[in-house]
Structure 1
Amino acid sequence: MQIRDFFPVSTNTSFKESCYGALGALIGLVATELLCQWWLGVSPHWLIAPMGASAVLLFAAPASPLAQPWSILVGNGVSALMGVLAASWIPDPALAAGGAVMLAIAAMFLTRSLHPPGGAVALTAVIGGEGVTSLGMGYVLIPVFVNSILLLAMALLYNRLLGRRYPNTGRAAPHPHQTRDPQPSERLATQASDIDFALNKHGELLDISRADLRDLLQEAQHHALRGRVGTVLVQDVMSRDLVVAGPEDPALTAWRRLSRHRIKALPVVNGAGELAGIITLHDLLVDAALAEPRAAGALASLTVADLMTREVQTARRYQPLYDLVAAFSDGGLHHMPVVEGSQLVGIITQSDMVAALFNLALRPDPGTDLP
């Protein structure tokens, strides 16, 4: 142990997030108190002190596993129950206080609802004075449960308005192809079983969810990879000799070009060489309106403009190649036009990405001595 161990560590929280947390606690507690008076007609005295600690978690640290809805509702509820039981069973105030917190922690662990303010909720049941002890089991419902559910409602609304992910369930985003497979970027990444192994070996409780811990680890790995491949630009990989279509071309012409060149997409450019859209083999084969195969002969009366996608995700020629990895893996893109201004200058495909990343993987690390 060293003297520096007693100094504060960085929380990596921005000034804006700190202000949001403080303002949220103000709004949440004031609203909870006013709603208690309006809804139940109870005195502001029944906004119990432990709600201040709950507000810190719900508004300043909403990503914490200790701040999730189950934790505040069940954690505060079972803690209140344990506090009332300890106050009833143990005549000595000091033993009752310690016993209340001990039982509360045990109950929260058993119900997987650990919520640090629960310790204060249990303690308040013992030392809160005659006004609290006279409530008996009623203390669990009013004020504890009512305070908790109203404060939680404020947190859900406030965090949603700020665009925060709350509740922070840690569930993965649905697969774009509606299958149970993990996203492509996750298949060789650190798995949940690896995180569980490390957490079990560590043993102590960490105030971070498994999903957030995995995301942080992957972000650190991506940052390291970005430093290695960030010098490779889109123009280093893209195709420049392009096969294109015009908006007024017959759809059958687009079909023949795709077939002749054995490709799956054609950028669509206007007379000035500007990107107007993209047409794919899927556009030609499937009737999007009916979600069925296109009828034989239907292409004869259609033009490229009738079938092309007009809103196209594009890349810039001087953009780092790393920026496109997510779009081609989890995003499911197969081809992306490259533009300079509005002019089409190239196209990059999944095949280009795979070849480029494979070649990068074969490069020795900087500073490595080759045999």
Structure 2
Amino acid sequence: MHLEWALSAFARLRLFRPILAGATLRDRALACFGALMGIGLSAVIGGLAATDMNHLVWIVPPMGASAVLLFAVPASPMAQPWPAIGGNVISAAIGVAIGHLMPLTALSAGLAVACAIGAMSLLRCLHPPGGAAALVGLFIGGSSSLLFPFVPVGLNAVVLVASAWLYHRMSGHSYPHVAPSPQPARASDRPWTVSKADIAATLKEAGESFDIGADDLESLVRHMERRAIARSYRELTCADLMVTGVIGVKDDASPEQARGLLVKRDIRRLAVVDGAGLLVGAVGLRELLRPARHVGEVMTPAATATPATPAIDLLERYAQGRVHSVFVVDGNRRPVGVVTEADWLHVLTRSLA
């Protein structure tokens, strides 16, 4: 009990909250297990390749940092296979080259990391552990270090990436990460829609680099737009959507009168009211095909809602109840408006096109 209380208290502190968007305790636990598997396998294979342990290390420290990226944030652009392999190998090669050209000093250390960053940026394989790989390559020195970028660095990186690929396939994550294709949006129909050009311009104005791909960012924006639209639908009421001035007919009117009104106004249903103006039913051309002396004999129950009814609640009635018109009534059951399928389709077409 005391341990659970302590963990709960720590969880409330901002210091211990996840800093990555979307991070969960389950994902972090799985990342730990994945790193255990990936680093362990890399070390075993590296050890088998190291014929002389005095001259060839079997796993290099930058692989620990690479494992954090590959298993904890596999969607990061810097955690993809080419950055993980190319970034480590190229940076280690730069470190080795500078180690052969210059003595080991503070200047050569800084130059190795700077050149590694430049090379990784130009070759589109920026990978933070590459900076450490450059320093390790610089420190190795000696003629035997010429193979260092390939064995063990390249070998470690390939095994680690292969382990990440296998592990994420088993755990359900996509790796290499491919951003889901965002649904296209037509800005002409929705002027407030965020376009890909808007995202690029905003990133340029921000002047900062973020650890997320542009395609992933666009996909997230599209998901947020759809959620915002769904939320706005839940907040939309029948009073917001209804058409006032309900066209109705009295229950004692003749079928010919009702039929003529339907055709003249080009509508599918008429509200049927009694002498006091209260809604008692609805009628359409289908009901008027039956012989009757007045409308009240052939009318059917009317689908009703109140002005405060969420408009989204009507969708199920349209789909499953074969309802075409819902009449909005006040507290006394007087019709104050109507919401038809066409009204809803008009809203959906404008918002989701």
TM-score with structure 2 setting the length: 0.60
Q: Does 1:30 align with 2:40?
A: yes
1:294 alignment partner in structure 2: none
Which is greater in Rg?
2
State the superposition RMSD in angstroms. Answer: 3.9
Instruction: Note if contact 2:179-2:219 (Cα within 8 Å) is conserved in structure 1.
Output: no
Aligned length, in residue pairs: 249
Closer/same/farther in 2, CA of residues 135 and 185 from structure 1, 3 Å limit: farther
1:357 alignment partner in structure 2: 348
Deviation at 1:351, TM superposition (A): 6.5
Q: Map of 1:118-267 to 2, 5 A cutoff?
A: 118-128=130-140, 133-170=142-179, 172=181, 183=184, 189-231=193-235
Hey, what's the Cα distance between the residues in 2 that align with 1:155 and 1:338? 49
Hey, what's the Cα distance between the residues in 2 that align with 1:159 and 1:59? 8
Hey, what's the Cα distance between the residues in 1 that align with 2:26 and 2:342? 42
Say which is worse superposed, 195-204 or 12-21, in terms of deviation: 195-204
Instruction: Note if contact 2:113-2:131 (Cα within 8 Å) is conserved in structure 1.
Output: yes
Deviation at 1:85, TM superposition (A): 1.2
Show structure 2 runs of 5+ residues with no match: 1-13, 242-308, 325-340
1:82 alignment partner in structure 2: 94
Show structure 1 runs of 5+ residues with no match: 174-181, 238-317, 325-335, 362-371
Amino acid at match of 2:95: G
Deviation at 1:7, TM superposition (A): 9.4
| 3-state SS of paired residue (1:45) | coil
Closer/same/farther in 2, CA of residues 73 and 94 from structure 1, 3 Å limit: same
Closer/same/farther in 2, CA of residues 337 and 224 from structure 1, 3 Å limit: closer
Task: Among all aligned residue pairs of Structure 1 and Structure 2, give the percentage whose two residues are the same amino acid.
Answer: 33
TM-score with structure 1 setting the length: 0.57
Closer/same/farther in 2, CA of residues 320 and 121 from structure 1, 3 Å limit: farther
Amino acid at match of 1:153: A
Instruction: Note if contact 2:113-2:135 (Cα within 8 Å) is conserved in structure 1.
Output: yes
Hey, what's the Cα distance between the residues in 2 that align with 1:207 and 1:201? 16
Amino acid at match of 1:200: K
1:199-222 CA-to-partner distances (Å, cap 9, x unmatched) read 222232211100111122233333
Q: 102, 121, 146: which one pairs with 1:109?
A: 121
Hey, what's the Cα distance between the residues in 2 that align with 1:353 and 1:41? 73
Hey, what's the Cα distance between the residues in 1 that align with 2:200 and 2:26? 33
| 3-state SS of paired residue (1:225) | helix
1:307-359 CA-to-partner distances (Å, cap 9, x unmatched) read xxxxxxxxxxx99959x9xxxxxxxxxxx9988xxxx54489x9775324368
Hey, what's the Cα distance between the residues in 1 that align with 2:135 and 2:177? 28
